[in-house]
Amino acid sequence: MSSDNDTPLTPTWGPLRSFGRIKSRTLKPRQAALFDTLLPTIAVPDPKAGPVDPKVLMPEATEAWLEIGFGGGEHLAEQASRHPTALMIGCEPFLNGVGSALRHIEERGLNNVRLHADDARDVMAALPDASLDRVMILFPDPWHKARHNKRRLIQDESAAEIARLLKPGGRLRFVTDWKDYAEWALERLERTPGLEWTADRADDWKVAPEDHVVTRYEEKKLGDTDPIFLEFVRT
């Protein structure tokens, strides 16, 4: 974990704690090897060097999705497998998660995934307006303590950035298993111009969408509630 004295990579919104490349345990040999062989072929070009255009990353793609914080990559790989004509951009600063994702990508032979093994904010800032069809945020760090709430991924600034990136009709899915984070995120997303909550009844946020992919993290049930699914559309 980076120290409080480190400088965030892109301090344009939210003093996120989990910036930079982070490794919590030794990478397995196979995963470590994939950092040298597979990752260079599917890595998102350095977003600090210039714009990141989905049309350049995968010219034949019919859609472009972004998953912010893909964890072990199970959800990202499964969605990529289900939607082979969609470009899947995944961002994750934890190297162990990136290593796991690389293994999933290799085993499934996926050609439509591009990874950024670092802070998602850099990629988001480099993407053009209205360039994404979907943004997925599943079980982000809840940062429970009130003094740490400012480190949560969902802030007014990040919500506005997501709205900027989504095409008209594009969708955001935010999932958490912590009640207070769901309330926090809903409050900020609802007041973001251009984003509209799609829920009409309780089941719309209590029942998983048909295309939801259950991950190992979700199965651990570490939160204080069943998963809450917040779906927003770009108006």
Is 145 marked as a binding-site residue?
Answer: yes
Is 141 marked as a binding-site residue?
Answer: yes
Q: Are 61 and 128 in contact (CB under 8 A)?
A: no
Is 119 marked as a binding-site residue?
Answer: yes
Is 220 marked as a binding-site residue?
Answer: no
Is 177 marked as a binding-site residue?
Answer: yes
141 belongs to the catalytic site: yes
Is 151 marked as a binding-site residue?
Answer: no
State the catalytic residue, choosing from 46, 118, 129, 141.
141
Is 180 marked as a binding-site residue?
Answer: no
Q: Are 95 and 21 in contact (CB under 8 A)?
A: yes
Is 181 marked as a binding-site residue?
Answer: no
Is 122 marked as a binding-site residue?
Answer: no
Is 217 marked as a binding-site residue?
Answer: yes
Residues with active-site annotation = 141
Binding residues for substrate: 145, 177, 215-218
Binding residues for S-adenosyl-L-methionine: 67, 92, 119, 141
Binding residues: 67, 92, 119, 141, 145, 177, 215-218
